[in-house]
Structure 1
Amino acid sequence: MNAQNHESTAHAPLIIDIAGCQLTGADRRRLAHPLVGGMILFARNWDSRQQLLQLCADIKSVRPDLLICVDHEGGRVQRFRTDGFTHIPPMRAFGEMWMDDGKGGKYREGSGAMRAMDAAAAAGYVLGSELRSCGVDFSFTPVLDLDWGGSGVIGDRSFGRDPRMVAVLARSLMQGLLQSGMANCGKHFPGHGFVKADSHTDIPVDRRALKAILADDAAPYPWLSTALTAVMPAHVIYPRVDARPAGFSSKWLQDILRGQLRFDGAIFSDDLSMEGARRINAEVVSFAEAACAALNAGCDMALLCNQSVGDGLIVDAFLADMDAALAAGRWQPDANSEARRVALLPETLPQPWDELMVQPAYMHALDLLP
């Protein structure tokens, strides 16, 4: 199918990656593919701020509307850590600050919560503005999962166990991101914190009833309905709701998230190369089959990560398979999905790094971090 046919589809749902710190000819060709709507950066794509700024400029030169994404939450999930990037604390640090009202003569009820909200907003602003100074458009943050104590993959990435606290601190972080001109992504809907298994290597199963999940783990999502711009579903199976993982479930994504909870922002699949994403109804499927299943279930965009490493032929095959699937009608392009993708692109110009470093709001935000 040629590019002209693709343009009529008006939907670029695929997010891919690149292997190195500079674009190769193969990278440019893949990023120019009409079904590619963005790319996700990893630590292997980082050498320095100047290199990252140049890489992002080169990506935009291929297509200005490509969404440049990164998993940059703080704590152990922070891709860029050197050359001036602030080390953002794990989200648990803000939850702990919330609980600390001081002792003795310094005790003041509720003061910890107020400090934590201010600090979380500062973290969002620092995180977003530093990324944007280097040309990055969007970070997959904040984590809305609750910390039940048993999940190694979530753990200190969570603000805490109480969904009310999680929602308030996440909203504060989103406020800081918004101040920097960056959108946000709540993850992993409807909640990954209750299960112990890691969906990168396994398929976690949460056997609770829908009512229990909505009352607890998923509670932040409707509370944040006016602030969430994107959501990433969990590669978790909730068998009392649906036999499919949430990211492949139209019941979870269309009936519950869009219908019941009235979310109208973008929905990203989680990484389709993860073990939890390759099995649907107990069968191992191809990357393209997984992407089609995610799009048909209600995702607007599908991520395929870490397959560009080496010769990257897997990415080429994936794009060709998605072309064929589109031609065969195995997934339908959606103009609303494309509008949601484009809405995540920043609308303001970023501040140059050197100007950001001396900006009063940024310097104040650094002082507020725990």
Structure 2
Amino acid sequence: MKRFVGLILAAGMLAGCAAPVDDTPAPTPTSTTTTTTTSTTTTSTSKPEVDVREQVARMLMPGVVNYADAKAKLQAGVGGIFITSWADPNLLYQIEGLRKEIGRPFDVAIDFEGGRVQRFSEILGAHPSPRELAATMSVEQVEAKAYEIGKSLRAHGITVDFAPVIDVDGGGLEVVGDRSFSQDPRLAGDYGAAFARGLQSAGVQAVFKHYPGHGHASGDTHLGEAITPPLSQLFQHDLIPFEEAFAQAPDAAVMVGHMVVPGLGDGTTPASLNNHAYGLLRNHHNFHGTAYTDDLTGMAAISNTMSIEQAVPAALAAGADQALWSSASNVDAVIESCVQAVEAGQIPRSHLPQVG
């Protein structure tokens, strides 16, 4: 726990530089014999004070289970909602009505990869796994298949798909397996980029996952801590698909996983809460899109050590653009924890989105 607190404090220190004070003396009047008083009317041109609560709320994407739950969280100000696998399927037919009632833009996200991770396939359609797609289709055909998937998602109000997985299989992890396009890192990147382009052609934001690579981690982050090979080895293998995919589908987003990466920062903080992971993403890969966290409540790699009120501000302080979680929570308490982190200088104000 200490390492996470230290991370937040470090982020605050980086953001705490104050502007220099102008200590130049005021000019001395050249004459005191005549004093003229002029009455003027001053019109304030200052902008209204920014609502920090509204800003941080836009950086949150909580899970929802039905229309009432989604409405309440959106009315609290969140920037998007995540349709969980246990949600009421009727919600997929109610998104347009929800948009009209809320009266402002917001994102609707889902996990839809094909194969064993395709939520509500009885409504959205059933499609082969990424492994099967790569084994039976060309890159161009996979792009067309993803466009087909994207059209179905968009028709049901979904704007963000947490897909494709571009982890490289080969580490023997069941959590990866056929969700990966290939054991060849370049093929994984090529097919992943094609899938992303197809989704985005249909008007759905694609999200590459799980940066910086889950394929050869020591375990499953759903179940507990998972440690990847050292960063130097990731550059030689697991990071290659991300480099390929970022170049070929530059408008896609990315999901940062909860893996611990030796050699990345302190080597003990999960990537999703590690400012060095976001620095690597932005500076080394020159990635300028949206960076989501992986689920901050439904995965033991985080939930074993942190509450949602601790994990969300830690992720935003580290550099995440959108904090994602699935489990039931008090969204107002999460927002308040983020506001406090901004006021304490832990989340830089420069990282907050413009609202209005």
Normalising to structure 1: TM-score of the pair? 0.75
Q: Of residues 129, 142, 145 in structure 2, which corresponds to 1:90?
A: 129
User: Gaps (5+ residues) in structure 1?
Assistant: 98-114, 343-370
Alpha-carbon deviation of 1:151?
0.7
Q: CA distance change for structure 1 residues 74 and 260 in 2, over 3 Å: closer, same or farther?
A: same
Summarize deviations over 1:9-65 as a string: whole Å, max 9, x none: 487111112232x225xx43321223x1111002333435xx523234314531432
1:1-370 pair list within 5 angstroms: 5-6=51-52, 9=55, 12-20=58-66, 22-24=67-69, 27-34=70-77, 36-48=78-90, 51-59=91-99, 61-83=101-123, 85-97=124-136, 115-206=137-228, 208-226=229-247, 227-228=249-250, 229-241=252-264, 242-254=267-279, 256-273=280-297, 274-278=299-303, 284-307=305-328, 312=329, 314-334=330-350, 338=353
Aligned-residue sequence identity (percent) comes to 29
Rounded Cα–Cα distance in structure 2 between residues aligned with 1:39 and 1:11: 12
| 1:17–1:304 Cα contact (<8 Å) kept | yes
Alpha-carbon deviation of 1:297?
1.2
Summarize deviations over 1:131-166 as a string: whole Å, max 9, x none: 100111110111010111411111110001101111
Alpha-carbon deviation of 1:260?
1.1
Partner letter of residue 288 of structure 2? D
Please identify, of 284-293 and 71-80, the stretch whose mean Cα deviation from structure 2 is larger: 284-293
Alpha-carbon deviation of 1:210?
1.9
Q: CA distance change for structure 1 residues 46 and 9 in 2, over 3 Å: closer, same or farther?
A: closer
Partner letter of residue 159 of structure 2? D
Rounded Cα–Cα distance in structure 2 between residues aligned with 1:164 and 1:60: 43
Rounded Cα–Cα distance in structure 2 between residues aligned with 1:152 and 1:10: 36
Partner letter of residue 63 of structure 2? D
Rounded Cα–Cα distance in structure 1 between residues aligned with 2:353 and 2:261: 29
Q: CA distance change for structure 1 residues 186 and 8 in 2, over 3 Å: closer, same or farther?
A: closer
Partner letter of residue 86 of structure 2? R
Q: RMSD of the alignment, in Å? A: 2.5
Rounded Cα–Cα distance in structure 1 between residues aligned with 2:83 and 2:345: 31
Q: CA distance change for structure 1 residues 96 and 9 in 2, over 3 Å: closer, same or farther?
A: closer
Rounded Cα–Cα distance in structure 2 between residues aligned with 1:79 and 1:199: 20
Residue aligning to 1:355: none
Rounded Cα–Cα distance in structure 2 between residues aligned with 1:23 and 1:10: 22
| 2:109–2:159 Cα contact (<8 Å) kept | yes
Number of residue pairs matched by the alignment? 303
